[in-house]
Structure 1
């Protein structure tokens, strides 16, 4: 590398449907490198349409990692992603190539940029006791308790999120120290120089593009793909993904096709909103508003104009 980019990793992030894939392909071509997917659903085989995987042509043009690595019945965690992604990153860096991570699964990306705190295994008797206390003393009792023993952890949890409140108390009581302290001691970012590029669009435009994308998925055969998945993996993890669960309801006869499509669009928009809320809290992201841009070339040019360090890497 002529640019002093030792241990540099490029991350392209943003909400679903914003245009990450097309941009990543052009940057990968410019750098002669490979792409690592950070999408929690693209890891599954046989789920091509509903997860909007790169096309066969794009996959032939640029090698991709972390796509089609599991069957739909298997589960996968952010910790497992971190380990596999690090292997791919280190392999590319060893060949003097700058890895490009692309995706919208915020926890996967954070597992690399900030590290993960997994904590001790579940203590079911303790959880049951805590839940019983909540029933006896009323809603909000456990959250008040968490505020008393670990206000730093409570600040990051909604008062209505009982599951996370119980987990925070469980860890604190088992480890005999605050969960916030446990996180500080055990959470370490991966040792890379991350360049984070975030793509955003006007909300109305993004929502319109999501609707068009769902319509295209239906034309390409999302309903049939869901049917094939159901026959392959009735005990499945992956079929809880957006689009598939709605199509499953349709195939089972509990809702009509029109309603399944409407729900898919609605829930995908809600997911995109949650993604942006998550990413807006992340530090060090170079945000580029690509509202009005459709062509991958136009998006690429705007990103290069806005992100000086990326321009320096590509033209060095």
Structure 2
């Protein structure tokens, strides 16, 4: 074999290898939930479908349970490009886009269908577009579910039953305002630290959707679960905007389609498994209270809406409620 021929062959091999490496897109997806949670189910679906449909051209590595940091760190990491895709509570993004805080208002969504219509419709997409100014491409709004209260004191039936509780809250201003209005003492604690905070008595109550109560095993440190359903909690599936824009049109289409399918699948499972989750929690000794005066709660927390409108205007609230 001549030197010229060997050199030509080597150049061709290197060229093909370089093109192959360039063509492959490796994505890092991070979330804070345990690998038993439906967030991991969604992440696994997203990974498997993208890898299969792209023929391995796109690969996804999943980092669950806050392996790449808490929610704030993961959001920052995704905006900077250290992480490619993040799944987190929408509340963790309202500091960037205050309008998104309307989705966190107590009792703004009477049913899941109302929530899906708003999130997937014009108002949800307008808010999704606002995230692009902050380096994020919103791929969809998975479901965390309706938030319910747990505590170690007793069932919560009336608004007065919340008074005096040391209530862990997330960084949602609406929820913090709500618990303060009801007479609790709200304390912001990252979800990764919440089990220990409940176990050691730093707080004696918290609110989360049923799936989170189960996957984080809060039944081990909380005796009562009251189905207050005081707020619908959406997740956000966001991608680094530069990473998304750097993909081919075909890859972008594939990612957005798979993301939409993953969100729909996860929402369906969330609804289907809710009663099963409640049965599991009850079997583990949690006392579940379904007797909640929802009307009294709605009336008691209405000032939270007024506060939001004062600060952000009423356009988004009216778009959601149709008023």
Taking structure 1 as the reference length, the TM-score comes to 0.27
Q: Highest Rg: 1 or 2?
A: 2
Taking structure 2 as the reference length, the TM-score comes to 0.27
Which one has the bigger strand percentage? 2
Higher RCO (C-alpha under 8 Å, 6+ residues apart): 1
